[in-house]
Amino acid sequence: MSDADRTEHTAPLVAVLDYGSGNVHSAVKALSAAGADARLTSDRGLIRDADGLVVPGVGAFQAVMSALRESRGDEIIERRLAGGRPVLGICVGMQVLFENGVERGHDTAGLAQWPGTVTQLDAPVLPHMGWNTVRTGAGSTLFDGLEGERFYFVHSYGAQEWSLEVTKPFAEPVLTWCDYGTPFLAAVENGPLSATQFHPEKSGAAGIRLLANWIGALPRH
């Protein structure tokens, strides 16, 4: 079999970053169900060579950032994006892509891939837990065929503003919003960097389809 045939017939390799964030095995299972060769790993060589990298996140912004820095996961993410290699953040894995997170009085520096601060949602009941619909941005790859579907959220904080200015030849990011008390970003698609505030791996068939859309768009190496 030629290299071209091998690439065509093998599943895309997706690394799920293992940096100590809890409850990530469901993400690995969902990615596998969506058609990826998904592996939970901290191996820098495997992560470097993977077609896609998923950054999960559970818990507090500050704790996730501390674990990322201790494991040098922040460097791994930065190097992949510098090379234009796809990364998908999930839940707090999305939040830490912004400049800062303010949570329970703690102002913590994030990865600063996007400007802005993650703050507590202005809603009468927190956390925002359960199924909700989203307002999908035009031209979305992630939500192709998923208009009107519901996704599963568990969070009290989110990015409630978007201020990144993009100039040509770079494409405008695709922003998907959700409403809970006030609008917040449910997903962002920005070149090689995508993220969802909700949990695709807990969102049933719609979540698997979204992951399959992301996997199907990965450049093969």
Domains of the chain: 3-216 (3.40.50.880)
Amino acid at 118: V
The tens digit of pLDDT for each residue in 18-72 reads 998 777 899 999 999 999 999 999 999 999 999 999 999 989 999 999 999 999 9
On the question of pLDDT at 8 being above 60, the answer is no
Question: Is residue 108's pLDDT more than 50?
Answer: yes
Region 120-135: mean pLDDT is 97
Q: Which residues are catalytic?
A: 91, 199, 201
| Residue 205 Ramachandran class (φ > 0 left, ψ -120 to 50 alpha, else beta) | alpha
Residue 209 has pLDDT above 90, yes or no: yes
Token look-up 């990364």 returns 87
**Contact indicator for 18, 27 with CB cutoff of 8 Å:** no
The answer on pLDDT for 1 being more than 90 is no
Q: What is the mean pLDDT of the chain?
A: 93
